[in-house]
């Protein structure tokens, strides 16, 4: 993709859809969205939040709705460009200038703006380090030892993680088991793995 620095330049680079891109741009500019270039393509935002992108490809051109998953899509026009991968993005796709029904397209744009005003955003789910993953050796011991299980449950998540990592990081099974024997009394006493170093 050629790097462009203005919407006019983007339209010139995609001259095979020039009239259609100009038409869509006019619709976008008739709203209160702010126009800019991001990722070498025109993007229209509301109060700094991306709402719609304008795109042109070899055989079609489109509007990208950054949170299009929230659009009602009453006319069943939206595409998910990568089914199973794309969560929020939806695409309104056209092949010719005649495909653009201005009132319908403007209604989709205005609905996207309204959704943004309402704060409707699909935020990515990030894996967190806070999840405690209990290794099989400890899990088995907790299942068979009620006292240990009760003591482990009342530990803070950070202490639980320390013990789990201590066992999981051992490469040999014998080492895992010896570490497990070492930490059992510490868990029962509600101590953290590294408590003895904290006041040094």
Fold of 7-117: 3.90.1150
Mean pLDDT, residues 54-70: 94
pLDDT of residue 152: 93
Confidence of residue 85 (pLDDT cuts 50, 70, 90): low
Q: Residue 76 region, left (φ>0) first, then alpha (ψ -120 to 50), else beta?
A: left
Mean pLDDT, residues 20-43: 96
- Residue 46 near residue 30 (C-beta atoms within 8 A): no
Q: For the chain, which residues make up each domain, given as ranges?
A: 7-117, 136-198
Distances (CA, A) of 3 to 7, 25, 130, 132: 11, 19, 40, 44
pLDDT digits (tens, 9 = 90+) for 161-173: 999 999 998 889 9
Confidence of residue 80 (pLDDT cuts 50, 70, 90): confident
- Residue 73 near residue 143 (C-beta atoms within 8 A): no
Kindly tell me if the per-residue pLDDT of 39 is higher than 70.
yes
**Global pTM value:** 0.60
pLDDT of residue 200: 36
β-strand pairing of 49-56 with 34-38: unpaired
Residue entry with tokens 């109060």: 47
- Residue 135 near residue 164 (C-beta atoms within 8 A): yes
13 versus 121: which is more confidently predicted?
13
pLDDT digits (tens, 9 = 90+) for 140-196: 999 999 999 999 999 988 899 999 999 998 889 999 999 999 999 999 998 888 776
The set of residues, in sequence order, having a beta carbon less than 8 Å from that of 90 and lying 6+ positions away, is 64, 65, 68, 69, 71, 73, 78, 79, 80
Q: What DSSP string describes the chain?
A: ----SSHHHHHHHTGGGHHHHHHHHHHHHTTTPEEEEETTEEEEEETTEEEEEEEE-SS-EEEEETTGGGS--TT--EE-TTTTT-SS-EEEEESSGGG--HHHHHHHHHHHHHHHHTT---PPPPP-TT-----HHHHHHHHH-HHHHHHHHHS-HHHHHHHHHHHHT-SSHHHHHHHHHHHHHHHHTT--TTHHHHT-
């Amino acid at each position: 993709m050629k790097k462009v620095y203005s919407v006019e330049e983007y339209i010139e680079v995609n001259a095979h859809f020039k009239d259609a891109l100009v038409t869509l741009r006019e619709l976008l500019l008739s709203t209160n969205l702010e126009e800019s270039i991001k990722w070498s393509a025109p993007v229209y935002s509301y109060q700094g939040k991306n709402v719609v992108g304008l795109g042109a490809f070899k055989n079609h051109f489109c509007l990208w709705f950054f949170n299009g998953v929230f659009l009602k899509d009453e006319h069943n026009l939206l595409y998910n460009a990568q089914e199973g991968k794309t969560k929020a993005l939806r695409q309104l796709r056209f092949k010719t200038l005649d495909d653009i029904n201005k009132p319908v397209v403007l209604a989709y744009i205005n609905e996207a703006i309204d959704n943004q005003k309402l704060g409707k955003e699909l935020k990515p789910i990030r894996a967190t380090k806070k999840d405690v993953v209990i290794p099989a050796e400890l899990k088995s011991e907790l299942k068979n030892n009620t006292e240990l299980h009760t003591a482990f449950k009342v530990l803070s998540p950070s202490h639980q993680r320390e013990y789990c990592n201590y066992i999981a990081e051992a490469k040999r099974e014998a080492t895992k088991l010896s570490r497990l024997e070492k930490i059992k009394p510490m868990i029962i006493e509600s101590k953290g793995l590294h408590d003895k170093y904290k006041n040094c």
